[in-house]
Amino acid sequence: MKRIITYGTFDLTHIGHINLLRRAKQMGDYLIVALSTDEFNATKGKHAIFPYEHRKEILESIRFVDLVIPEHNWEQKSQDVVNLQADIFVMGHDWEGKFDFLKSYCDVVYLPRTDDISTTEIKQIIKTI
């Protein structure tokens, strides 16, 4: 069984998120999503519209996702890859090169983002309404 892992906040889930999860799942058999907790987002200066538990439930309802785990800090990625026996680490191409240190544990793939959509853009549009 080939295991894939990805990380993110997944706030205001949109087609870009679905595309990333679909393409990640197509790389293997089992997709793990490490979801940033509200506390971790605060350390990054981010604030999700939906709390962690709601974002987790949304992700768990997506057919491509097999397991959702909490992401508590930047440093846990290596440990997660090893403990969860991930074969492939997947992130959007805006993170290109930032997680190459994981190549000693698994394959690292940066997928292209979906054009013309992002949570940041959605939040900006909502502010103007």
| CA gap 32, 72 in Å, rounded | 15
Closest CA to 90 of 5, 8, 1: 5
| CA gap 123, 12 in Å, rounded | 9
| CA gap 53, 75 in Å, rounded | 22
Q: Which alpha helices (H) appear in 61-118, and where do they start and end?
A: 76-83
25 carries an active-site annotation: no
Q: Which candidate in 2, 25, 46, 56 is catalytic?
A: 46
Q: Which candidate in 44, 98, 103, 123 is catalytic?
A: 44
Contact (CB, 8 A) for 59 and 71: no
77 carries an active-site annotation: no
Retrieve residue 60's tokens: 């768990």
Catalytic residues: 44, 46
